[in-house]
Amino acid sequence: MLNNLIPISNLPFINPEYIFNIYNKIKSSCEACDRFQFLKFLEYFKNTYLNNYDIKSWNYYKSIEHITNNASESFNNYLNNLFAKKPSFYKLIYTLQKEESLSYNDYERRIGGIWNKKKRILGRTEEIDGLIRHYEKLESELIKNGYNKNDIVELWFNCLFDLNKYKL
């Protein structure tokens, strides 16, 4: 049945249409394996996130772009490194305007073809997005071939474990 702990933390990446079905599958599996402590947590999870919140408020399924705040923290760190100490208001404005113009110049060079952009290595966000899109295609194939909802729930249930390979 369940060899590993259910990666319930990956539910935000799953098609929300199947979240309740997957929750029930996880619960049944835990009952069959006598995982009573996890069942307590599942009850808390259901009451808190499935019943009290709109799933769309915590589900990333259709919008896996920035699942962390790393971009904003990175920029904040960059700004902190621009100033040795707290700047005056006018120095802050001057520096921000200078940074803005540098960004604009970089943008102009990019669209003009002058900028040679380094080949980007896929980050976790892109890898997760790729995996989710792969499962979407598998779901489409199952639907097209007449499989029932239980088969599709099983597919997304398996996706939870595949997502566990990406440390979030």
Q: State the virtual CA torsion across 156, 160, 161, 166 in degrees, nearest 10.
A: 130
For residue 167, is pLDDT > 80? no
CA distances from 37 to 43, 45, 46, 160 (A): 10, 13, 14, 20
CA distance 20 to 96: 47
pLDDT for the residue numbered 98: 83
CA distance 13 to 163: 8
For residue 118, is pLDDT > 60? no
Please state which of the ranges 36-45, 114-123, 134-143, 154-163 shows the lowest mean pLDDT. Answer: 114-123
- What average pLDDT does this structure show over 53-72? 73
The domain ranges of the chain are: 8-65+122-163
pTM of structure = 0.60
For residue 49, is pLDDT > 70? yes
Please state which of the ranges 34-43, 70-79, 135-144 shows the lowest mean pLDDT. Answer: 70-79
